[in-house]
Chain A
């Protein structure tokens, strides 16, 4: 799906970066540190995976950060709701809250996709609008303060704590693995499973093929009978649901849902997708690329952290990497065009 050099370039850059960091920074390659990186990457990796679907169709979703906020407060509100706790118990509440978070994200995604596909409004504008509105809704739901940890005087105090703990087992839990002192973080496991699933969907299913086709040439796809609108709708729904799931994991991790959570996450996710080789022009991108891009950002942040580099410099470094990735994309496209012109002349 992507030019060969683009497929190899970013994984090589990631390997190089890991190697350099391993040599320069003592402790970087320790299992504990590597799993920490995976944990830190997982939220962004999941959102980036969803965004990759949208970007392959030549769309964009700016609303995912706000969706993390909105889905997060709805998750936390459900988790600590007296009614839900009484009916379902703490464990049941955790399940219901998780589903609510994912559904809320998917709903915003469906709204985005519906307006983009049926009304033909530019995705940038549509998702800019939902980005603003979802953030407002999140603040409206909570009155501006985080939902989560109960007051000590709360009659349901113990149950609420139990429910928060139940979701924390997913968002902040670790699975014991021999050789790993702290075990393997559950969110990282979720991310890896989703990336593998995403890769399967993109490469092996009819839906995935249509996603690439729509992004590669929308008109040709339409004339070939591809249900372009439905495909786009699907990608935005996937993207929204991904952001919803990320919100659930975040609430579990932090034991609370704040209306301002997920601020600027959309930019990190788009950056990861683009660094991973997904083209903003559409038609090109992979699930593993999203993971690679997210890892690259994560390794960079972690390495600079360990080196004691100021966070301001980290931001600058990330900016440079994004620019390089986009330049690489543009350069590959030109080389591609030249190659096509040459081949067609034969």
Chain B
């Protein structure tokens, strides 16, 4: 189905963002972004992970306040202090993580926060009747009395849409709504999206699937590194052009990988590894002195594979071998004992104990070495922590500083220092430079490269293609829980990786 041709005389936009800027510690998530959404049209928002799509949606939803720039709705400037302000103005965002109360009935969810009734007494019949009506108008065929938690994802989405409709929504934003839908369910959703447009509602559609964007979008906006790099009618650009806009970057890191001496036998080898519902048939190998880049979209199963390698999660198919011997760690503790360590993507919730100081974090995984009969030898611990924090060039080099007060880059250095102290053979980095500023990124890249040069086997997961290209000797690409391809660093390009990472079509 071809989208309708763009109207010759553009009407004023329903929603207009002008020069919206949003900064987070260490990153500019949105950099003077303009964005328009017109009544009755579908606006696709595409970009790589971290391009700023989610932040843009949050600004629209009132969940984040922009640091600069303006929002106008129907021509009048608005300022959303909280999500409820946006809701009452008719702006609804449907997140990937649906926001229904699973124990409540579908109709109760629809009217949650605006229950009809008088003097605090619920008029349940009125709610049920109206909810049923709206759900039927959306093509729903389930009982509105069903608890939301018992509904399928597609059905829950209809509940969320119904919730938007009873609030007289003028704009509905959908954040990757098809990620968990089957082909048929996607078709049905698109049908409803078109009906919403026919009612004059503006729709913002975020998706990684270019094929779907093609089917549904009237307009396409491409974000990259927090900037708008393309905006125009969908008919005016082809897939190759979109991918080029998505990956073309100002920042290029020095290529540290590639063209090394022939590496030896694999140190860590994974054959047909699988974990039901998360990934399957994953095979890869890492040699000493080598960095393997694991690329793919968020949700492709990269972190899940890494957690199995590190003993943090179990697997139920396939086998692993470490230095030729069978390897099946039951816990991170076992993996560490075998010399395999994992630097999780979320430093704050998984990498560090924020309330502890740098010293305590650095020595946490190797405390036994500084303890005699269970009693910590304070001086040995201090010396080791000092040595490690110097090795990673922590700034300031204060080992008594609380980890939670450090910047992102320095926090990551502390996590790295912790694992350097363990002296592992295999290091698995999950998004090592997320939320880290450019200078610290380059330093971390040097440190990671240095580890490989010192004979360690390294796996780096990154959603940032330039980072993969900068570090990896070999790139393994995952898509929807499977390995979709492998590229030598010399032959790898951002376009090539992205083509392997993007879901080709829905049936895949």
Could you tell me which A residues sit within 8 Å of B by CB distance? 1, 204-207, 209-210, 212-213, 216-217, 219-227, 283-284, 336, 339-341, 343-346
Contacts and interface: CB of A to CB of B under 8 A. Distances in A.
Interface residues of B, number: 36
Contacts of A216: 353-356
Contacts of B336: 224-225
A204 B381 CA distance: 11
A344 B406 contact: yes
A207 B374 CA distance: 7
Contacts of B378: 204
Contacts of A223: 310, 312, 332, 342, 344, 350-351
A220 B353 contact: yes
Given A207-B374, A213-B360, 12 more contacts: A1-B355, A204-B376, A205-B371, A205-B376, A206-B367, A206-B368, A220-B350, A220-B351, A222-B332, A224-B332, A224-B336, A344-B25
Contacts of A343: 404-407
Given A206-B374, A223-B342, A345 B356 contact: no
Contacts of A336: 404
Interface in B339-366: 342, 344, 349-356, 360, 364-365
A216 B365 CA distance: 15
B375 interface: yes
Contacts of A212: 353, 355-356, 360
Contacts of A213: 353, 356, 360, 364
Interface of B: 25-26, 310, 312, 331-333, 336-337, 342, 344, 349-356, 360, 364-365, 367-368, 371, 374-376, 378, 402, 404-408, 418
B361 to A, nearest CB: 8
Contact of A346 (B375, B407, B418): B407
Q: Which of B25, B337, B353 has the most CB of A within 10 A?
A: B353
Nearest to B23: A345
Nearest to A210: B367
Q: Which of A284, A339, A340 has the most CB of B within 10 A?
A: A340
Contact of A227 (B333, B356, B376): B333
Nearest to A341: B25
B353 A283 contact: yes
A224 B332 CA distance: 7
Contact of A220 (B25, B331, B352): B352
B353 A217 contact: yes
A210 B331 CA distance: 17
Contacts of B349: 217, 219-220
Nearest to A219: B350
A284 B355 contact: yes
B354 A217 contact: yes
Contact of A344 (B342, B368, B376, B405): B405
A209 B354 CA distance: 14
B330 to A, nearest CB: 12
29 contacts: A205-B371, A205-B374, A206-B371, A206-B376, A212-B353, A212-B355, A212-B360, A213-B353, A216-B356, A217-B350, A217-B354, A219-B350, A220-B351, A222-B331, A223-B310, A223-B312, A223-B342, A223-B350, A223-B351, A224-B336, A225-B336, A225-B337, A225-B365, A340-B354, A340-B402, A341-B25, A343-B405, A344-B406, A344-B407
